[in-house]
Amino acid sequence: MVKAAERLSRREWRHGGERRCLERLRRADPQALAVISLVADRCGVDAMDLLRNSRSQAHIAAARQLAMYLVNVKLGRTMTDIGALFGRDRTTVSHACRVIEDRREGAFDQEVDRLELMIDGLAALDDPMPEPAHAIAC
């Protein structure tokens, strides 16, 4: 997990820290990075926009909230760890999760369900293939 102390400072971010941030996240929590990238792709935003420390446009903030929610629900990361990943406080993550839960109805709920299934598919790719109980003769 990414610890809060590992977050990039705003100064580092402005001076080419985006690449370092992605590399650090890729090493520390590749599953979370996969979820962030999936949400960014489905929402039509850049994954780096979701990780930036600054406030952003409403559609980027909504995508960030969705990514935080899915990292919590599907990957089981703590709100403190998610806050560290996104450069936010754990209470911001808690708020994001409540906002997404409140919005879960109709078409939005169906889209969240689709994303959850996609994340389950990603997790299945990470799991090693189980050994067969017995050999099959061909």
pLDDT in tens, 4-46: 434 444 444 444 566 676 777 788 889 999 999 999 999 999 9
Inside any domain, residue 45: yes
Average pLDDT on 66-84 reads: 95
Residue type, 48: M
pLDDT of residue 137: 33
* Containing structural domain, residue 61: 4-120
Q: Is the residue at 13 inside a domain?
A: yes
Within-domain flag for 138: no
Q: Is residue 65 part of a domain?
A: yes
Q: Is 19 exposed, middle or buried, given 0-12, 13-18 or 19+ CB atoms closer than 10 A? A: exposed
Q: What CATH number corresponds to the domain at position 91?
A: 1.10.1750.10
Domain count along the chain = 1
What average pLDDT does the chain have?
81
Whether this model's pTM surpasses 0.85: no
CA-closest candidate to residue 61, choices 26, 103, 32, 17: 103
| More confidently predicted of 105 and 131 | 105
| Amino acid 98: pLDDT | 98
Residues 6+ apart with CB under 8 A from 126: 31
Q: Is residue 131 part of a domain?
A: no
User: Which is nearest to 1 in space by CA: 91, 90, 134, 64?
Assistant: 90
Assess contact for 20 and 96: CB atoms under 8 A.
no
pLDDT tens-digit map of 87-113: 899 999 999 999 999 999 999 999 999
Is residue 68 within 8 A of residue 96, CB to CB? The reply is yes
